[in-house]
Amino acid sequence: MFTRRSAALAAAILLSSPALLGGASAADKPTDPQIAHIAYTAGVIDINAAKQAQKKAKNKDVKAFAEDMLRDHEAVNKQALALVKKLNVTPEDNDTSRTLSKQASDKLAELDKLDGAAFDRAYVANEVAYHKAVNGALESQLIPSASNAELKSLLQTGLKIFQGHQQHAEHVAAELK
């Protein structure tokens, strides 16, 4: 399936390119300001996807799922903003954030062409793949690289939330079949 393939590609980019995370520098570990930016961007992407789904989705479970995503990711990002303010860290844009944003806007455009049940299925399939990719990045790169304990702990909560969303999305996807 096309959606699955492009999502797998996104995951591959996210997971297998330490160079992306370090930008032009030789370091393959993202810094805390970069990690904060990536995590925040990942939340914004899912918020935008949810807003599109609220306008376009037909199925009531899909609509409810989009509402849950909006609520949770806004709550996580609000905590992230409070934390960077407290730690006096300025989130720093980087290649991973830019790649994620570019892929997300392509996906929004692709989904925008779909309607009704086709949109519902494609949105939910992408939510499964997207959460899976972000979970992989959190586990293998972002959490181990975070040096500030509070940032690490927020990312760990974020991981549990994202894992929950992935399972929730899988349930909704199964219902749509």
Q: How far is the CB of 163 from another protein (least distance, A)?
A: 5
Q: Phi then psi for 136, rounded to 5 degrees?
A: -60, -45
Distance CA 35, CA 94 (A): 9
The answer to the question of residue 164 lying near another protein (CB under 8 A) is: yes
The answer to the question of residue 157 lying near another protein (CB under 8 A) is: yes
- 121, 57 Cβ separation under 8 angstroms: no
Task: Give the number of other Cβ atoms within 10 Å of residue 4's Cβ.
Answer: 12
Distance CA 65, CA 127 (A): 10
Task: Give the number of other Cβ atoms within 10 Å of residue 25's Cβ.
Answer: 9
The answer to the question of residue 175 lying near another protein (CB under 8 A) is: no
Q: How far is the CB of 150 from another protein (least distance, A)?
A: 13
The answer to the question of residue 167 lying near another protein (CB under 8 A) is: yes
The answer to the question of residue 79 lying near another protein (CB under 8 A) is: yes
Among 17, 48, 68, 87, binds another protein (CB under 8 A): 68
Q: How far is the CB of 170 from another protein (least distance, A)?
A: 9
Distance CA 39, CA 90 (A): 13
Residues at the site binding another protein, with contacts judged by CB under 8 A: 68, 71-72, 75, 78-79, 157, 160-161, 163-165, 167-168, 171
